[in-house]
Amino acid sequence: MSDDHKTLGDHPEAIAGLAIVILIAALMSIPAEAGPVEVRFPEGATHGYLLVQSLAGETIGQGEMTQVIGEGDLVENRLVFRFKDGSLHDEKVAFSQQDVFTLMRYRLVQRGPSFPEQLDVSIDRDTAEYRVRSKTRVQEKEEVLDGQVDLPKDIYNGMLITVSKNLQKGVDEMVSILAFTPAPQVIKVQLLVVDMEPIHIGDRSSKATQYVFKPQIGMIQKLLGKAAGKLPAHFQYDCWIMVNETPSFVKFEGPLQLMGPIVRIELAADGDPAGR
């Protein structure tokens, strides 16, 4: 297989950053050192399928991820999850990978009963413009907010798995996410290396490194008020990445939105979108 076209198992970049974008939208950051992540494993063209499951193992949705190299070597990634209840999770990320990973454009749409908040957010580094459209189940009207924001070099909305694959072995990292409250705020996120464990994919045996994506949390009660009592018990997300010459995604566990259920995202067997 050529380097120009690889399977999703080689490059499933987009998964997981989304959950943190929504979860930490209500959190405040604790100052910490952060910086852009160096490119060690450049991304290429990718197309593949994923399954969304409950922790009990029930398939509740299916996903498709496509990635192409666009104009000026810009990497353009799109991840779409379609749920059995009709919900949609649609994320687009465009980033450069010249020496370090740099997010250029981001768009996230979440709608349907699986998402307590109906959301459409976008950011653009070149124009510094952002736009947020949101509506909760208790709101009668959609809230719209737009403006300009300067993006730090280490903003990685929708790219946490990509940058985790490029960390030095055994080294933790601190990066940033732009969260919407609804006004944009920069939130620090720790990428923690937890442990290695054996995994089996078909007749292959290998080892996967478990990472924890942990936002820096503070003053939740002040920001959320009464809603704070309904928050999830823990504020972290787990991801497993296979250890080999080219690190690749194995599994992710966490909520896709703040008040949503914890889900498990894995590759569909043999590229079958139904996982048969």
Helices (H), the chain: 17-23, 160-165, 220-224
∠ CA 126-132-137, rounded to 5° = 160
Q: What distances in angstroms separate CA 7 from CA 67, 190, 251, one per listed residue?
A: 10, 28, 15
pTM: 0.80
The contacts of residue 234 (CB under 8 Å, 6+ apart) are none
Query: What does the pLDDT look like over 31-77, one tens digit per residue?
Result: 344 679 999 999 999 999 999 999 999 999 999 999 999 888 899 99
pLDDT > 90: percent of the chain: 45
Q: Confidence class of residue 182 from pLDDT cuts 50, 70 and 90? A: confident
- Range 238-251 average pLDDT: 85
The contacts of residue 135 (CB under 8 Å, 6+ apart) are 117, 118, 141, 142, 143
The lowest-confidence range among 114-123, 128-137, 229-238 is: 229-238
The range of the structural domain enclosing residue 260 comes to 5-271
Q: Establish if 276 belongs to a structural domain.
A: no
Domain count, the chain: 1
- Which of helix, strand or coil describes residue 29? coil
- Which of helix, strand or coil describes residue 72? helix
Burial label for 147, CB within 10 Å (0-12, 13-18, 19+), is exposed
The lowest-confidence range among 91-95, 205-209, 272-276 is: 272-276
Q: Confidence class of residue 222 from pLDDT cuts 50, 70 and 90? A: very low
